[in-house]
Amino acid sequence: MNIPASLSVEQKGQLLFVKINRPEKRNAINDELILGLESVFTSIPKEVKCAIIYGEGQHFSAGLDLSELKERDIIEGLNHSRMWHRVLEKIQFGTVPVIAVLHGACVGGGLEIASACHIRVAEQSTFYALPEGQRGIFVGGGASVRLPKLIGMARMADMMFTGRVISAEEGILMGFSQYLTSESKGLEKAIELAEKISQNADATNYALMHVLPRIVDSGQTEGLMMESLIATIASSSPEATKRLNDFLAGRAKKVGE
Q: Does 66 bind ligand 1HE (CB under 6 A)?
A: yes
Active-site option among 24, 71, 89, 132: 132
Cβ distance to ligand 1HE smaller for residue 14 or 81? 81
Closest CA to 84 of 64, 100, 98, 67: 64
Q: Between residue 103 and residue 122, which ones bind ligand 1HE under the rule CB under 6 A?
A: 105, 107-109, 112
The amino acid that residue 194 corresponds to is A
Cβ distance to ligand 1HE smaller for residue 108 or 186? 108
Give me the least distance between CB of 207 and ligand 1HE, in Å please: 29
Cβ distance to ligand 1HE smaller for residue 28 or 99? 28
Residue of 31, 56, 135, 201 that binds ligand 1HE (CB under 6 A):
135
Give me the least distance between CB of 63 and ligand 1HE, in Å please: 3
3-state SS, 110-122, equals HHHHHHHCCEEEE
DSSP structure string for 77-126: HHHHHHHHHHHHHHHHTSSS-EEEEE-SEEETHHHHHHHHSSEEEEETT-
Site string for ligand 1HE, 2-31 (x = CB under 6 A): -----------------------xx-x---
- Residue 103 near residue 125, CB atoms below 8 Å: yes
**What gap in Å lies between CA 55 and CA 61, rounded to an integer?**
7
Cβ distance to ligand 1HE smaller for residue 46 or 70? 70
CA distances from 174 to 62, 127, 148 (A): 21, 13, 11
Q: Which stretch binds ligand 1HE (CB under 6 A): 39-47, 133-141, 159-167, 190-198?
A: 133-141
Is 132 an active-site residue? yes
Q: For ligand 1HE, which residue has the nearest CB?
A: 108
What count of other Cβ atoms lies within 10 Å of the Cβ of residue 31?
Answer: 14
Q: Parallel, antiparallel, or unpaired for β 15-20 and 50-55?
A: parallel
- Residue 10 near residue 52, CB atoms below 8 Å: no
**What gap in Å lies between CA 73 and CA 254, rounded to an integer?**
58
Q: Does 185 bind ligand 1HE (CB under 6 A)?
A: no
**What gap in Å lies between CA 45 and CA 132, rounded to an integer?**
35
Residue of 16, 36, 40, 59 that binds ligand 1HE (CB under 6 A):
59
Q: Which stretch binds ligand 1HE (CB under 6 A): 13-21, 56-64, 187-195, 209-217?
A: 56-64
Q: Does 67 bind ligand 1HE (CB under 6 A)?
A: yes
For binding to ligand 1HE (CB under 6 A), which residues are involved? 25-26, 28, 58-59, 62-67, 84, 105, 107-109, 112, 131-132, 135, 139-141
Which residues are tagged catalytic?
112, 132
